[in-house]
Structure 1
Amino acid sequence: MPRTPRPGTSQAAGRVRRRTVQAGGLEVPLLEAGSGPLVLCLHGFPDHAASWAGLLECLAREGYWAVAPAQRGYWPGGAAPDGSYRASSTGQDVLALIEALGREQADLIGHDLGARAAYAAANLGATRVRKLVGMAVPYGPQLRAAWVADGDQQRRSWYMFFFQTVMAQAAVELNDFALIDRLWREWSPGYELPETERAALKDTLRAPGVVNEILGYYRQLFTPPADEANRALEARASGAITVPSLYLHGADDNCMSVELSDGMEAVFTSGFERVVVPGAGHFLHLEQPKTVADHILGSLNS
């Protein structure tokens, strides 16, 4: 049955709070707003939890408890306890956080690598996930195929291949994270991240050890785990998704081609909707916040 959130009309309902929660062997920093049914908002790269602030406030005003955790590796002391930055590990983090927050179930909203974590969580714990919203990184075998055979996507994904090299960390940190500024410009043409938000993002990346850890997401992307148990876990995390799902992709995304989301419905077995958002690139929740929020709320409230 559709879940009806509590009416949340007061200004206080949307105020964002900070705290840490012990989950999955980590003290996870998070932002949260509101109360009610739980919605987890999962960030990607090169980003951090703070970019969800506007959506957290919006969800809170609609009667949800909106929570945006930092992904493993994104804070000092947040290095992966098992050394893994694979989809199955970040998916398990999501399920552990749902439990740590005292809930049986949550809705998931994931952007970029956060979408990958959400897809994995939905596979590893389908009963713990009520609704799923993925953004900017599609799900299914077509993405890996594109890295092998699609010259256009290979060009867009150059940074993933560069991050395999020993030069990557120095290059990311050089000239006050100029490479990060470049990625934002290229991936979301015409969008300018406000300076205060840009500075906050760079503060996240500047914290000791963070860049080295987050490069692990990409350095483990193209190789399977060495041991059989983790290979089996990765396989479980990449099956057909049985959770009702919405997928949003910016029409002008210069990181992931919108065509990569064609045919995604084949791997979703309990309802799937894809929406291409006009006037948006990779960071569509910041570029078109009202449009994105309206689609998300339409899905969560249905």
Structure 2
Amino acid sequence: MSPAPRAYDVSLPTHAVGVLEWGPADGPLVVALHGFPDTAQTWRRVAPLLADAGWRVAAPYLRGYAPSGIPTDGGCSVRALVADARALHGLLGGDGRAVLLGHDWGAITTNAVAGDPASPYARHVALSVPPFPAMNPSPRTLGTWAGAMVRQPLHSWYIAFNQVPGLAERDFHRLAARLWRQWSPGYDATEDLAHLRDAVPDREHARTVVSYYRALLGPGITPALAEPVHPLLLLHGDRDRCLEPGLARLAGATTVGGAGHFVQLEQPEKVAASVLSFLS
């Protein structure tokens, strides 16, 4: 059984942040960001493996996911998430060795930080969502891109669903259960959905969480459009049904066999081995 994480809070200007932590208190820092619809518990299988190698893994609950607070500024854009990730480096005691690791929305944030020349992190790891610019086709890859884009709208319907005021909040947990089934076929998400119910206990929290998608078309998306300028490892499940593996390969991602979208839960040993190899 994996060791239980330490739990504590830190404070950002707009909200308190709940953090789970594994590993030695004096180890180099890995800040691990979860995605949608998920929680910091998504790292419970990978973090102990990184901790065994001497890393201190700190997994914050993102804005709107309890025990983190709902931000007083209402910000749910990529720009706001990037600001949180940068601030957490200092709040969590990061130094020049620190690593930013993210999945899904955490990966979008990680990719954006990797595109900032002033990133405080030495290395960056993104799971299941490559940088947006890296998924653009070239003349050589146009066929691969076109084939993947034919299938991608069948996966991305939930983005439009989350734009509908009131509807997404009311049906949040029903939507979440459906997405876990769809995105990682065959994976049993019972434990993860229980953690999610604790993290999104009411419509106010659900409204904040789905507002990440409602902010996509605003100016706060700009950091996610930057090309990475720092070392960045991309990992992607070969059975992912959220974002087409073909698009990820186009971006240079390493494919993880036997995994859907929640690759860190489905193949934790493979993910940890790839991350540790990259960090070494």
TM-score normalised to structure 2 length: 0.87
Aligned mate of 1:44, from 28, 35, 38? 35
Q: Which moved more, 1:177-186 or 1:69-78?
A: 69-78
Aligned mate of 1:116, from 90, 100, 108? 108
Aligned mate of 1:23, from 4, 9, 12? 12
The answer to whether residue 179 in structure 2 is matched with residue 183 in structure 1 is yes
Q: 1:44 deviation in Å?
A: 0.1
Aligned mate of 1:224, from 212, 218, 224? 218
Separation (CA, whole Å) in 1 of partners of 2:223 and 2:101: 20
Separation (CA, whole Å) in 2 of partners of 1:66 and 1:24: 23
Letter in 1 for 2:15: L
Q: 1:278 deviation in Å?
A: 1.1
Letter in 2 for 1:161: A
Q: 1:23 deviation in Å?
A: 2.7
Q: 1:30 deviation in Å?
A: 0.4
Q: 1:124 deviation in Å?
A: 3.2
Match of 2:132 in 1: 140
Separation (CA, whole Å) in 2 of partners of 1:76 and 1:208: 15
Q: Which moved more, 1:202-211 or 1:246-255?
A: 202-211
Structure 1: 5+ residue stretches without partners: 1-10, 266-273
Match of 2:248 in 1: 261
The answer to whether residue 169 in structure 2 is matched with residue 169 in structure 1 is yes
Aligned length: 268
The answer to whether residue 96 in structure 2 is matched with residue 102 in structure 1 is no
1:188-244 C-alpha deviation (Å, 9 max, x unpaired):
011112x344312222122562101001101111x223xxxx6xxx53553221111
Match of 1:271 in 2: none
Separation (CA, whole Å) in 2 of partners of 1:277 and 1:286: 12
Indicate how the Cα distance of structure 1 residues 248 and 199 shifts in structure 2: closer, same or farther if over 3 A, else same: same
Q: For the Cα contact (< 8 Å) 2:11–2:17, is it kept in 1?
A: yes
Match of 2:69 in 1: 78
TM-score normalised to structure 1 length: 0.81
Q: For the Cα contact (< 8 Å) 2:116–2:229, is it kept in 1?
A: no
Structure 2 counterparts to residues 215-294 of structure 1, below 5 A: 215-221=210-216, 223-225=217-219, 234-265=221-252, 274-294=253-273
SS at match of 1:215: helix
Letter in 1 for 2:89: I
Superposition CA RMSD, Å: 2.5
Letter in 1 for 2:35: G
Q: For the Cα contact (< 8 Å) 1:33–1:56, is it kept in 2?
A: yes
Structure 2: 5+ residue stretches without partners: 138-144
Match of 1:156 in 2: 155
Match of 1:210 in 2: 205
Aligned-residue identity in percent: 37
Q: 1:90 deviation in Å?
A: 0.5
Q: For the Cα contact (< 8 Å) 1:48–1:201, is it kept in 2?
A: yes
Match of 2:142 in 1: none
Q: 1:78 deviation in Å?
A: 1.8
Q: 1:143 deviation in Å?
A: 5.6
Q: For the Cα contact (< 8 Å) 1:132–1:245, is it kept in 2?
A: yes
Q: For the Cα contact (< 8 Å) 2:22–2:51, is it kept in 1?
A: yes
Q: 1:171 deviation in Å?
A: 2.0
